[in-house]
Amino acid sequence: MPLRICFFGQAPFGRDSLVRLLEAGHEVVAVYTPPEGSRPDPLAEEARTRGLPLIQHRYFRRKGAGAIAERIDEHRKLGADLNVLAFVTAILPPEIVDGPPQGSLCFHPSLLPRFRGGSALAWQVLLGERESGVTVFRPDAGVDTGPIVVQKGGVTIEPHHTAASLYFDRLYPLGVDAIAEAVAAVADGSAVYRPQDESRATHQGLVDDAVARLDWTKPAAELDRWIRGCDPQPGAWALRGEERVRCYAGGLAAGDPGAAAPGEVVALADDAALVAARGGLLRVGRAKVGEGAKQPAAEALRAGDRLA
């Protein structure tokens, strides 16, 4: 039986998930996205093209009790059977999350209960996780702690994966499928809500600049993961004198650093910089110096530079 859905999300993932639900015959009573900047949001554009009601709020819980009550009342009047949270960064009041008769379904890019939190993609690469997947769960008062409706795994995290490539190449299409499957199960009454196994739970904080600093006392393999896990945001970084250098498109390179100190640029090759590390060489494909643009690392760095 088709559901009346209130859809929350943004970006291409939100757009593609919305389209799948509409193709399955569900009615979308409203689409919520954050306010747009200079570039249109793909989900918002899709909603406009299809003539769907589009609601854009930056916050749901930070503008005082009156504003929160207005948001809750606005949502209640839509008469949704179910909320779908496809790619949501705003914190929704429980009155909205639990408001529809079927509650909410939320997408998360990890195999919950592992890697709860807002930087799940990055931490899976940073910590050397070998398998990834996606989860659709019913949110509760905790952070990514609610019961699981659909989970799809079997995604191998390859040595070349960045946080971005893991998501876009592997988890994105799997996530769209998982959302469609979870909504279908709710619609036909077959959904089973499985509690998460708290004995396996992990939660990591956000990957910010404090986390992204490269520590040259660490082995090359760990620094490689750090560069890839912080790619594209916030960008793993080190200092060249007073300049902050962010490193992208990382990987391990063949060869021996020899007598070079960790952090020393030992060579430039094929637009990349080879940087000495403990037990190996790092290949940095792109770099960003200060507030400048990303560029080939061989243009941003010089042989003999020392990153600290």
Domain termination site, one of 167, 200, 233: 200
In this model, does residue 250 exceed pLDDT 80? yes
pLDDT at 68: 84
pLDDT at 105: 98
Token pair, residue 23, equals: 């193709």
Whether 71 and 191 share a structural domain: yes
Q: Is residue 305 part of a domain?
A: no
Chain-centroid distance of CA 35 in Å reads: 19
What is the chain's mean pLDDT, rounded?
96
In this model, does residue 59 exceed pLDDT 90? no
* DSSP summary character for residue 51: T
In this model, does residue 232 exceed pLDDT 90? yes
Whether 64 and 170 share a structural domain: yes
* Structural contact between residues 248 and 283, judged by C-beta atoms closer than 8 angstroms: no
Beta strands of the chain (E only): which ranges? 4-8, 27-33, 54-56, 82-85, 104-108, 131-137, 148-156, 236-240, 243-253, 265-269, 272-277, 280-289, 295-296
Annotate 27-42 with b (16+ C-beta within 10 A) or e (fewer): ebbbbbbbeeeeeebb
Domain termination site, one of 143, 175, 200: 200
* Structural contact between residues 62 and 41, judged by C-beta atoms closer than 8 angstroms: no
Please report where in the chains the tokens 């110096």 appear, as a residue: 289
Whether 177 and 65 share a structural domain: yes
pLDDT band, residue 64 (cuts 50/70/90): low
Whether 194 and 213 share a structural domain: no
Domain termination site, one of 174, 200, 226: 200
Whether 152 and 252 share a structural domain: no
Residues 99-146: pLDDT tens digits? 999 999 999 999 999 999 999 999 999 999 999 999 999 999 999 999
pLDDT at 206: 97
* Structural contact between residues 32 and 7, judged by C-beta atoms closer than 8 angstroms: yes
For 233, the domain range is 209-300
pLDDT at 162: 98
Q: What is the C-alpha to C-alpha distance for residues 97 and 102, in angstroms, rounded to an integer?
A: 10
Q: Is residue 307 part of a domain?
A: no
